[in-house]
C-alpha cells in the first residue's frame, strides 16, 4: 500500500493519494486540531489497508457493500486489531464517510459509496442516580464543620439536587437570580413557621444551553441552606475582594471570585468521600438523582423535562428506563410469584 504522504502518479484515482489530499484539506482549509487530524489519519490508514486487502485500487471501484464490510471488520476485529466498540467504530465510519464525500465533491471519484452506510449506534448509557440515603449523606458531609466554605458547599449541593440544575448553571448564578420569597409566617420574617418544610417558597432563574432560560421552584431545604450561606458566609467571602465583575455572583470561591465549574465538581467529590459514598460521583450525579427521584415519586415526565430544561421529552425519557429498572428489581424481590 502506498504511504499516505507519498502521492502516486495517478493521484486522482488511487485511494492513498486521495486520502493525502483529504488530510491536507482537513489540516489547511478546515484547521482541524492536531489530535483530531491524527485520529483521522489513523482511521483512514486502516481503511486503506482494508481496500488494499480486498483488491481495490481505484476509488470508483469501492462499493457500498465494501464500506459496510469494513464496518463489520471494525466491530469483529482481526489478528492485528481488537474489536472496536460501537462508539469507536462510529468515529472511524464518520472519517470514511467524510473522505468519500470530499472525494466526490473534489472530482476525485465519480460516486460516493459510503453515503448509505450509517455509523453503528452506541449503546444507550443510562444516567447514574444515587439512592436518596447517599444524597442526604453527601449533603450533610458538605455542611461540616460549619465554616464559611462549608456553608457555601452545602448551599451549592442543596441547590443542585433541589433544582436539577447543571453545575455550569449553578456557578453562573447571580444573587439576583434567586427569588426566595417567604410565606406568611416565615420565621425569618418575624412570624411563626406553620409547618415544617412548608414555610418557604422560591424560584431560581437558570440559564441553560443555547442561552435558554427557565424558572425552577426551589424547595425548603435548599432555601434554608442558601439563606444560611447568604447571611453567614457570603459577606465574608465577598469581603476578600475578588476580581472585578464578580460582585453579583452567588457562589464565591475562597478568594472572593466566582466559583468555577471545576471547583464545584471538587466540592461534590470531596463531600462524597467524606460521606463514605463509594459510587462514582460526577458533575451530573445530583441532576440525574433529581430527575430519577422525581419520576420514582410519580412526577410526570413532561414536568421533569421542563425542570431539567430539555428541548425534547425524548432526552428526558432515558430516566424512565432507570425507573423501570428500579420497579423490576423491587418486583423481583417482593412479589411471591416473580421467580420460579
CATH code, domain with 88: 1.10.150
Which among 132, 185, 138, 153 is positioned nearest to 264, based on CA atoms? 153
Residue where a domain stops, chosen among 219, 252, 276: 276
pLDDT at 211 over 50: yes
**Statement to judge: residues 75 and 157 lie in one domain:** no
Residue range 236-252, pLDDT digits in tens: 998 887 676 566 999 99
Given this model, what pLDDT does residue 221 score? 94
**Statement to judge: residues 77 and 143 lie in one domain:** no
Q: Supply the angle between the helices 86-105 and 64-76 in degrees, to the nearest 10.
A: 160
Which among 112, 5, 88, 93 is positioned nearest to 44, based on CA atoms? 93
All cell numbers assigned to 327? 420497579
Residue range 155-192, pLDDT digits in tens: 999 999 999 999 999 999 999 999 986 544 444 444 44
- Spatial CB neighbours of 78, under 8 Å, sequence gap ≥ 6: none
CA gap 337, 340 in Å, rounded: 7
- What average pLDDT does this structure show over 33-52? 92
**Statement to judge: residues 167 and 65 lie in one domain:** no
Count of C-beta atoms within a 10 Å radius of residue 274: 14
**Statement to judge: residues 27 and 101 lie in one domain:** yes
Residue range 272-308, pLDDT digits in tens: 999 999 988 987 889 999 998 998 888 888 888 989 9
Query: Is residue 332 assigned to a domain?
Result: no
Query: Is residue 211 assigned to a domain?
Result: yes
How many domains does the structure of the chain reveal?
2
Given this model, what pLDDT does residue 79 score? 79
- Given the C-alpha cell 435558554, which residue does it identify? 212
Q: What is the mean pLDDT of the chain?
A: 83
**Statement to judge: residues 54 and 147 lie in one domain:** no
- Given the C-alpha cell 483530531, which residue does it identify? 36
Given this model, what pLDDT does residue 124 score? 61
Confidence of residue 33 (pLDDT cuts 50, 70, 90): confident
Query: Is residue 233 assigned to a domain?
Result: yes
Residue range 72-98, pLDDT digits in tens: 888 888 878 888 888 888 889 999 999
Which among 163, 171, 289 is positioned nearest to 221, based on CA atoms? 163
- Label each residue of 124-181 as H, E or C: CCCCCCCCHHHHHHHHHHHCCCCCHHHHHHHHHHHHHHHHCCCHHHHHCCEHHHEECC
**Statement to judge: residues 29 and 142 lie in one domain:** no
**Statement to judge: residues 219 and 101 lie in one domain:** no
Query: Is residue 173 assigned to a domain?
Result: yes
Given this model, what pLDDT does residue 4 score? 46
**Statement to judge: residues 162 and 271 lie in one domain:** yes
All cell numbers assigned to 170? 449553578
Give me the percent of the chain exceeding a pLDDT of 90: 54
> Residue 200 sits in which domain range?
134-276
CA gap 112, 101 in Å, rounded: 6
**Statement to judge: residues 150 and 246 lie in one domain:** yes
Query: Is residue 210 assigned to a domain?
Result: yes
Count of C-beta atoms within a 10 Å radius of residue 168: 15
Query: Is residue 129 assigned to a domain?
Result: no
The catalytic residues are 166, 209, 284, 287, 310, 319
Q: Is the dihedral of CA 62, 9, 22, 49 positive or negative?
A: positive
Given this model, what pLDDT does residue 120 score? 79
- Give every strand in the sheet of 178-179, ordered side by side: 178-179, 202-207, 213-218
How far is Cα of residue 157 from the mean position of the Cα atoms in its chain? 18
∠ CA 65-67-68, rounded to 5°: 60
Query: Is residue 264 assigned to a domain?
Result: yes
Given this model, what pLDDT does residue 3 score? 42
**Statement to judge: residues 45 and 87 lie in one domain:** yes
**Statement to judge: residues 240 and 189 lie in one domain:** yes
pLDDT at 26 over 50: yes
All cell numbers assigned to 104? 466526490
**Statement to judge: residues 177 and 223 lie in one domain:** yes
pLDDT at 131 over 70: yes
Query: Is residue 78 assigned to a domain?
Result: yes
- Spatial CB neighbours of 334, under 8 Å, sequence gap ≥ 6: none
Q: What CATH number does the domain containing 141 carry?
A: 1.10.443.10
Task: Compute φ and ψ for 28, nearest 5 degrees.
Answer: -85, -50
Given this model, what pLDDT does residue 337 score? 63
Contact status, residue 151 vs residue 143, Cβ threshold 8 Å: yes
Amino acid at each position: 500500500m502506498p504511504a499516505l504522504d507519498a502521492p502516486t502518479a495517478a493521484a486522482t484515482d488511487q485511494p492513498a493519494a486521495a486520502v493525502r489530499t483529504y488530510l491536507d484539506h482537513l489540516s489547511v482549509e478546515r484547521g482541524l486540531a492536531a489530535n483530531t487530524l491524527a485520529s483521522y489519519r489513523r482511521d483512514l490508514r486502516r481503511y486503506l489497508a482494508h481496500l488494499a486487502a480486498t483488491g481495490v485500487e481505484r476509488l470508483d471501484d469501492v462499493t457500498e457493500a465494501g464500506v459496510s464490510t469494513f464496518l463489520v471488520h471494525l466491530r469483529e476485529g482481526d489478528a492485528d486489531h481488537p474489536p472496536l466498540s460501537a462508539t469507536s467504530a462510529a468515529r472511524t465510519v464518520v472519517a470514511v464517510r467524510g473522505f468519500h464525500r470530499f472525494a466526490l465533491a473534489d472530482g476525485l471519484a465519480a460516486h460516493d459509496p459510503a453515503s448509505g452506510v450509517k455509523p453503528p449506534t452506541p449503546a444507550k448509557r443510562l444516567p447514574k442516580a444515587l439512592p436518596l440515603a447517599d444524597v442526604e449523606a453527601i449533603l450533610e458531609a458538605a455542611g461540616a464543620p460549619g465554616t464559611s466554605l462549608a456553608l457555601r458547599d452545602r448551599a451549592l449541593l442543596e441547590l443542585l439536587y433541589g433544582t436539577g440544575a447543571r453545575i455550569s448553571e449553578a456557578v453562573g448564578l447571580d444573587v439576583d437570580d434567586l427569588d426566595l420569597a417567604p410565606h406568611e409566617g416565615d420565621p425569618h420574617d418575624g412570624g411563626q413557621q406553620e409547618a415544617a418544610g412548608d414555610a418557604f417558597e422560591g424560584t431560581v432563574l437558570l440559564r441553560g444551553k443555547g442561552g435558554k432560560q427557565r424558572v425552577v421552584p426551589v424547595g425548603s431545604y435548599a432555601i434554608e441552606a442558601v439563606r444560611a450561606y447568604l447571611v453567614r458566609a457570603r459577606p465574608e467571602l465577598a469581603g476578600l475582594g475578588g476580581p472585578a465583575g464578580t460582585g453579583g455572583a452567588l457562589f464565591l470561591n475562597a478568594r472572593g471570585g466566582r466559583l468555577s465549574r471545576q471547583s464545584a465538581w471538587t466540592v461534590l467529590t470531596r463531600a462524597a468521600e467524606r460521606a463514605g459514598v463509594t459510587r462514582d460521583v460526577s458533575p451530573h450525579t445530583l441532576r440525574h438523582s433529581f430527575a430519577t427521584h422525581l419520576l420514582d415519586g410519580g412526577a410526570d415526565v413532561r414536568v421533569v423535562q421542563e425542570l431539567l430544561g430539555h428541548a425534547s421529552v425524548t432526552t428526558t425519557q432515558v430516566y424512565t428506563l432507570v425507573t423501570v429498572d428500579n420497579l423490576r428489581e423491587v418486583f423481583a424481590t417482593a412479589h411471591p410469584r416473580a421467580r420460579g
